[in-house]
Structure formats: C-alpha cells, structure tokens
C-alpha cells in the first residue's frame, strides 16, 4: 500500500502507468460514447411532454454530473498537495481545471439550447443555472490563477485554497432544485426511491454517464502527462523521451 503511494510520487512511473491505462481506456471510452449516442439518438422514444428535444439529456446530464464530480477530484488533489506537499497531487489538480471547465461549459450550453424549446427561453437566473455558472468561473479561476503567478509553488498553493473554498458551491448545485423554486426539473435518477425516468431512456443515459467518467479520466491522464514532461524537462527521462521522439520523426 505505502509502496504504491511512494510510486505515485515518481513522475516517470506516473507518466508510464498513465500511458498504459490510456492505451485501453481511450478505446473503451470512444466505443461507449458512440454506443450511448446512437442508442439515445436513434433507439429511444421521444418524451411525452418534451418531444425529441429531451434527447439533449444524453450529453447534458453526463457533462453536468462529471463536472461536479471533477470538482471534488480537483479539491481533494489540492488538499493533498497542501497538506502532504505531494507534487503529483498538484499536477492532478492543475490537470482537472480545464477539463472541468470544458464539461461545465458543455452542461451550460446544452442546457441553454434545451431550455429554448422546453421553457421558451435560453437562460434564466435561477439557482441551479447560476450556481453552475459559478462552477465554470471557479474552474476558469483556478486556470487563470495558476498562470498569474511566476512562482509555481505559490501558484499551486493559491489554486489549492481556491478549489477547497469552491467546494461550498457543489452541495448548493446538487440541492438548488429542491431548496428554491426553479424552472429546472428535479433529479430524474434517484438512488433512494424510484427514478422518474423510463427504463428505456435510463439505460442509455447511465451508459453515457459512465462514458463521460471515462472521458474525464482519459483527459485527466493526458493533461497530467503533458504537465509532467513540461515540469520535468531538465530530467534525464524526459530528455530521453524527447530524443526518442526526434529519432522516430
């Protein structure tokens, strides 16, 4: 167990294991996304009230769910880098921010497009949508804050504090549709009690949620590999990698 954590702190080991995981996880992700999309778009029936516009659910909900979970990953990585000064946790925290921002952007844009035929408006300043917009600003804030510092150690600490403070927003997003009156519908999938979505629509949705979790993991590993070679540019293993790439070209 401890030897695993010890290995996690080794950049070349982490770079290698991330590459090995990506070799099988990336094809699985692409297949799951393709199957989920075809299933949701072609093989499900329209919603009795929303018609075919509900098919946006197969990208909107997975993007939103994983954007929220990704924030916890970023905050936990930030806490580990603050408390145990683990450099690889700092790498993971920095790698999470652009992916989370992209997923939150997808959730907001697809939600807005879905809103027009369903609610008659592209945007409302209700609790769910506004707190998701704050989530996007938190992710972008972490990206911008890191770039603003010349001293990357200080940048890492500031980003870790920002990501930890921002966790307050996550339960607010989850519970916003229950706490405040909102145009946004409450959660359709419930782990306690019955889901309010038909099984024929639920299964492709669950597949897409799994596919988006896999997508998040792939992007996280790819961003970490890019970040690692930049941080470790002076080390022999990265120089060897650069020379090997040059020899192949």
Partner 1 sequence: MSVAQWVAQLDQNLYFRSVDALLDMEGHGAFVWSAYLITTLVVLAMLLLPLRRKRRFLRQLAGELKRREGSPRTKGGGD
Q: Does 133 bind partner 1 (CB under 8 A)?
A: no
Nearest-CA neighbor of 201 among 215, 188, 214? 188
Query: 69 in the Ramachandran plot: left (φ > 0), alpha (ψ -120 to 50) or beta?
Result: alpha
The DSSP secondary structure of 46-108, one letter per residue, reads PBTTTBGGGGGHHHHHHHHHHHHHHHHHHHHHHHHHHHH--HHHHHHHHHHHHHHHHHHHHHH
User: Cα separation of 2 and 156, whole Å?
Assistant: 25
Nearest-CA neighbor of 57 among 173, 177, 189, 174? 189
> What x/- string results for residues 16 through 35 when contact with partner 1 is judged by CB under 8 A?
-----------------x--
> What x/- string results for residues 74 through 113 when contact with partner 1 is judged by CB under 8 A?
------------------------xx--x--xx--xx--x
Count of helices and strands (H, E) across the chain: 9, 0
To the nearest whole angstrom, how small is the minimum distance from the Cβ of residue 134 to partner 1?
20
To the nearest whole angstrom, how small is the minimum distance from the Cβ of residue 170 to partner 1?
21
Q: Does 138 bind partner 1 (CB under 8 A)?
A: no
Longest Cα–Cα distance in the chain: 62
Q: Does 219 bind partner 1 (CB under 8 A)?
A: yes
Which segment (126-134, 176-184, 189-197, 226-234) binds partner 1 by CB under 8 A? 226-234
Of 17 and 241, nearer to partner 1 (C-beta) is 241
To the nearest whole angstrom, how small is the minimum distance from the Cβ of residue 227 to partner 1?
8
Q: Does 46 bind partner 1 (CB under 8 A)?
A: yes
Q: Which residues of the chain form contacts with partner 1 (CB under 8 A)?
A: 33, 37, 41-46, 51-53, 55-56, 59-60, 63, 98-99, 102, 105-106, 109-110, 113-114, 116-117, 215, 218-219, 222-223, 225-226, 229-230, 233, 238-239, 241-243, 245-246, 249
């Amino acid at each position: 167990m401890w030897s695993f954590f010890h290995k996690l702190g080794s950049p070349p080991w982490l770079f290698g294991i991330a590459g090995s995981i990506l070799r099988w996880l990336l094809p699985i992700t692409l297949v799951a996304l393709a199957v989920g999309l075809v299933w949701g778009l072609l093989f499900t029936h329209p919603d009795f009230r929303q018609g075919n516009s509900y098919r946006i659910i197969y990208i909107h909900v997975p993007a939103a769910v994983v954007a929220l979970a990704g924030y916890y990953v970023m905050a936990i990585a930030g806490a580990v880098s603050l408390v145990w000064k683990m450099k690889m946790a700092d790498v993971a925290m920095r790698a999470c921010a652009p992916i989370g921002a992209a997923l939150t952007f997808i959730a907001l844009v697809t939600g807005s497009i879905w809103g027009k035929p369903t609610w008659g408006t592209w945007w409302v300043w209700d609790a769910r949508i506004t707190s998701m917009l704050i989530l996007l600003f938190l992710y972008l804030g972490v990206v911008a804050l890191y770039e603003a510092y010349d001293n990357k150690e200080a940048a890492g600490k500031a980003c870790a504090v920002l990501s930890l403070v921002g966790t307050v927003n996550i339960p607010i997003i989850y519970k916003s549709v229950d706490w405040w009156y909102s145009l946004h519908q409450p959660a359709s999938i419930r782990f306690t009690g019955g889901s309010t979505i038909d099984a024929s629509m639920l299964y492709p949705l669950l597949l897409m949620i799994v596919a988006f979790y896999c997508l998040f993991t792939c992007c996280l590993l790819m961003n970490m590999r890019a970040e690692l070679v930049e941080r470790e540019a002076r080390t022999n293993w990265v120089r060897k990698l650069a020379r090997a790439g040059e020899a192949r070209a």
